């Protein structure tokens, strides 16, 4: 059992969001899309049924906040996992096979990381069109390098250790050594990166929906709510504040979970 | 700098820019299908389309098309923006000064702010203040600029309304400038009131953009300064009776500056990338905001022009940083 409270705190908050996303229709007090112009821009507490107020179209902020967890977490899990799979695969190939493989993949990573992510994501969304698939694709295409770079270095290190040598001496195939012997030892590093990447994915999705390049505006998203709140900021600050705070806490939770995992899984840091 | 070094750096810049061009060409011209469809105004006749197709050489093989396209781009012919019905180059040149002034302002702020953090924390080493600053630095780094920007809008623009949160200047002030370099021209013409107003509008977006960079600069500068502070020549300076402040500024900061500056250069490109989202948050009329509108409107000629502009800026910044590093560090001059 990990003793680090950051794992429990971060993981607990994410679990809470996950439950909110799954049971959104059950726990939301209102339909997140239901407009009621008679009760538009009501401040928190003004009407007891709208606990944290309503937006400019009279939609319940809390219900929208809960439903928006769905997009945020879907993008976080799917995009981070895909980026992780692609980056890990290429990183392990480069780190274990070395030579020509390593040279090519490393060069690719260098070029990729020199290209500013904002430009790449603009170009990608421009070509692919808006929508959740484009958002996920953009995150995967841009962020696989984060995994590839670290996994490559880690694999290289593991490949030099005695157990790999022993496995080679026993006559195991290179594929078996790579995936059966080395991979389990790289997994801790990957888990830490995965958690951090999910935090990044949540932010990227929020930014893209803030500027109107993510899902269509009928689907509630934190970024979309923030954009609406930004427009009526002088009349109704709460439309912006609550999704912003939720977004902040979510990113913080993924970061804390990642840092906690790093501490817990790394035997070098444990001492 | 040795001539061979300049030559090799210039060559690598050209190669990078060429790479950006290839990527833009592939993504914008090859992937979406018919490139003519995005160049013509809606409702053009078949004859117009055929003329355009011949004009751009679209019956040629793809590598020849690339060369033709490259020629057009090098001549500054980026086509016409679909959504704005103006030449792409005209639109970009009109908005570019706003972004450049903001980015330079933000960079200056990050340098001052980062150095300040490093100096105070080094001076206060071993105390609670050092711990506090280090933790604050960690928070500055961990929270993305998107959240910082919106927090500033909320706190300093709405709850305690001390600073403007939209636009570049007060529209009621007519400064009668002829260029878009508001600060530069305003200062040259002595319109200080107008410059002050523009600066006030730039303060929050620049602060937003400078935060992550300041945190990085502060951390690296502090680490190198801590290393420097135990060196013999610092002890000597102390024995000579120099004041702590003078030692910190003249001896430690000067020697710690080189690695921090090299890092600043790399991070500056990220700061320029950050203009896109920051300009959106603060409704600031620069090319970042323009880029988002271009993507929303699927204005491919404009996107293409903007990406090339950003690419050119990145390459220019990198070259400037290399030159600066070589100038600051004598060992690199003959490398």
ipTM: 0.87
Q: A12-21, B174-183, B239-248: which has the highest mean pLDDT? A: A12-21
Q: Which of A126, A128, A208 to mutate to test the interface with B (most CBs of B within 10 A)?
A: A126
Arithmetic mean of pLDDT, A117-146 = 85
Alpha-carbon distance B242 to A174, whole Å? 63
CA torsion, points B22, B26, B30, B32, in degrees to nearest 10? -140
Structure-model confidence comparison of residues B41 and B168, the more confident one: B168
The pLDDT of residue A118 is above 80: no
Please tell me the predicted confidence (pLDDT) of residue B335: 46
Alpha-carbon distance B100 to B182, whole Å? 11
Length of chain A measured in residues: 271
B280 touches chain A (CB under 8 A): yes
Average pLDDT, chain A: 88
Average pLDDT, chain B: 82
Contact A87, A95 (CB under 8 A): no
pLDDT per residue as tens digits for the range B218-229: 988 888 888 888
Cβ within 8 Å of A, B 21-60: 23-24, 27-28, 31-32
The pLDDT of residue A87 is above 80: yes
Please tell me the predicted confidence (pLDDT) of residue A74: 95
Chain B residues with CB under 8 Å of A124 CB are 27
Residue partners of B252: CB distance under 8 A and separation at least 6: B122, B225, B228, B229, B234
The pLDDT of residue B152 is above 60: yes
- For the entire predicted model, the pTM comes to 0.85
Where is average pLDDT lowest: A156-165, A171-180, B72-81? Answer: B72-81
- The nearest CA of chain A is from the CA of B308 a distance in Å of 10
Length of chain B measured in residues: 335
- The nearest CA of chain A is from the CA of B153 a distance in Å of 9
The pLDDT of residue B266 is above 80: no
At residue B192 the predicted structure's pLDDT band, cuts being 50, 70 and 90, is confident
B269 touches chain A (CB under 8 A): yes
Chain A residues with CB under 8 Å of B303 CB are 122-123, 126
Arithmetic mean of pLDDT, B293-297 = 85
Cβ within 8 Å of A, B 284-303: 291-292, 294-296, 298, 300, 303
A142 touches chain B (CB under 8 A): no
Structure-model confidence comparison of residues A81 and B58, the more confident one: A81
Structure-model confidence comparison of residues B215 and B53, the more confident one: B215
Where is average pLDDT lowest: A53-57, A95-99, B330-334? Answer: B330-334
Do the chains contact at A241 and B27, CB–CB below 8 Å?
no
Arithmetic mean of pLDDT, B5-29 = 77
Chain A residues with CB under 8 Å of B143 CB are 248, 251
Chain A residues with CB under 8 Å of B292 CB are 122, 211-213
Contact B303, B39 (CB under 8 A): no
Arithmetic mean of pLDDT, B86-110 = 92
Do the chains contact at B280 and A119, CB–CB below 8 Å?
no
Arithmetic mean of pLDDT, B199-210 = 92
Contact B305, B88 (CB under 8 A): yes
Cα B141 to Cα A80, A113, A252, A255, B176, distances in angstroms: 21, 19, 12, 12, 40
Neighbours of B70 (CB within 10 A): 14
Q: Which of B150, B209, B305 to mutate to test the interface with A (most CBs of A within 10 A)?
A: B150
Do the chains contact at B273 and A119, CB–CB below 8 Å?
yes
Alpha-carbon distance B43 to A117, whole Å? 36
Please tell me the predicted confidence (pLDDT) of residue A4: 79
Cβ within 8 Å of B, A 203-222: 203, 206-207, 210-213
Please tell me the predicted confidence (pLDDT) of residue A195: 93
Chain B residues with CB under 8 Å of A237 CB are 154, 158-159
Question: DSSP 3-state assignment of B181?
Answer: coil
Structure-model confidence comparison of residues B27 and B159, the more confident one: B159
Question: DSSP 3-state assignment of B80?
Answer: strand
Q: A4-18, B58-72, B321-335: which has the highest mean pLDDT? A: A4-18
The pLDDT of residue A111 is above 80: no
At residue B257 the predicted structure's pLDDT band, cuts being 50, 70 and 90, is confident
Arithmetic mean of pLDDT, B21-32 = 72
């Amino acid at each position: 059992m990990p003793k680090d409270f950051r794992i429990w705190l971060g993981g607990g908050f994410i679990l809470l969001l996950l439950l909110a996303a799954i049971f959104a229709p059950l726990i939301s007090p209102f339909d997140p899309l239901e407009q009621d112009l008679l009760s538009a821009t009501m401040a928190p507490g003004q009407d007891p049924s709208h606990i944290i107020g309503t937006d400019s179209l009279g939609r319940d902020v809390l219900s929208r906040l809960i439903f928006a967890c769905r997009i945020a977490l879907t993008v976080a899990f799917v995009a981070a996992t895909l980026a992780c799979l692609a980056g890990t695969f290429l990183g392990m190939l480069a780190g274990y096979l070395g030579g020509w493989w390593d040279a090519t993949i490393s060069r690719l990573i260098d070029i990729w990381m020199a290209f500013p992510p904002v430009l790449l994501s603009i170009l990608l969304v421009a070509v692919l069109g808006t929508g959740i698939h484009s958002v996920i694709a953009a995150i995967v295409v841009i962020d696989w390098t984060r995994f590839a770079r670290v996994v490559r270095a880690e694999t290289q290190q593991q490949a030099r250790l005695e157990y790999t040598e022993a496995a080679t001496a026993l006559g195991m195939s290179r594929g078996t050594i790579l995936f059966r012997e080395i991979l389990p030892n790289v997994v801790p590093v990957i888990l830490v990166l995965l958690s951090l990447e999910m935090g990044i994915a949540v932010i990227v999705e929020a930014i893209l929906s803030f500027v109107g390049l993510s899902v269509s505006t009928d689907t509630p998203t934190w970024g979309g709510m923030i954009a609406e709140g930004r427009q009526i900021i002088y009349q109704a600050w709460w439309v912006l504040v609550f999704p912003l705070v939720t977004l902040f806490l979510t990113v913080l939770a993924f970061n804390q979970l990642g840092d906690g995992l790093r501490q817990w899984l790394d035997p070098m840091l444990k001492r | 700098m040795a001539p061979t070094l300049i030559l090799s750096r210039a060559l690598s810049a050209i190669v990078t820019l060429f790479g950006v061009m290839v990527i833009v060409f592939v993504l914008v011209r090859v992937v979406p299908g018919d490139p003519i469809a995005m160049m013509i105004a809606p409702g053009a006749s078949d004859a117009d389309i055929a003329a355009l197709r011949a004009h751009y050489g679209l019956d040629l093989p793809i590598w020849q098309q690339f060369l033709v396209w490259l020629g057009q781009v090098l001549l500054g012919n980026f086509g016409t923006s679909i959504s704005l019905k103006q030449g792409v180059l005209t639109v970009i040149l009109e908005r570019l000064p706003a972004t450049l002034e903001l980015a330079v302002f933000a960079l200056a702020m990050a340098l001052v702010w980062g150095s300040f953090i490093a100096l105070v924390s080094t001076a206060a080493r071993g105390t609670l203040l050092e711990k506090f600053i280090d933790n604050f630095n960690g928070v500055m780094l961990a929270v993305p600029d998107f959240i910082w920007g919106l927090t500033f809008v909320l706190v300093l623009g709405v709850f305690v309304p001390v600073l403007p949160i939209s636009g570049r200047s007060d529209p009621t002030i007519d400064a009668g400038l002829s260029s878009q370099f508001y600060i530069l021209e305003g200062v040259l013409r002595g319109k200080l009131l107008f410059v002050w107003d523009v600066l006030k509008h730039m303060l929050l977006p620049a602060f937003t953009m400078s935060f992550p960079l300041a945190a990085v600069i502060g951390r690296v500068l502090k680490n190198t300064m801590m290393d420097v502070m135990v060196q013999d020549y610092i002890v000597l300076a102390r024995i000579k009776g120099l004041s702590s402040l003078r030692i910190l500024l003249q001896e430690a900061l000067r020697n710690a500056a080189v690695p921090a500056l090299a890092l600043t250069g790399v991070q500056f490109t990220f700061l320029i990338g950050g203009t896109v989202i920051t300009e959106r948050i603060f409704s600031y009329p620069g090319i970042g905001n323009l880029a988002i509108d271009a993507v929303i409107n699927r204005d491919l000629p404009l996107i293409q022009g903007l990406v090339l502009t950003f690419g050119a800026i990145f390459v220019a910044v990198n070259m400037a940083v290399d030159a600066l590093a070589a100038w600051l560090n004598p060992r690199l001059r003959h490398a």
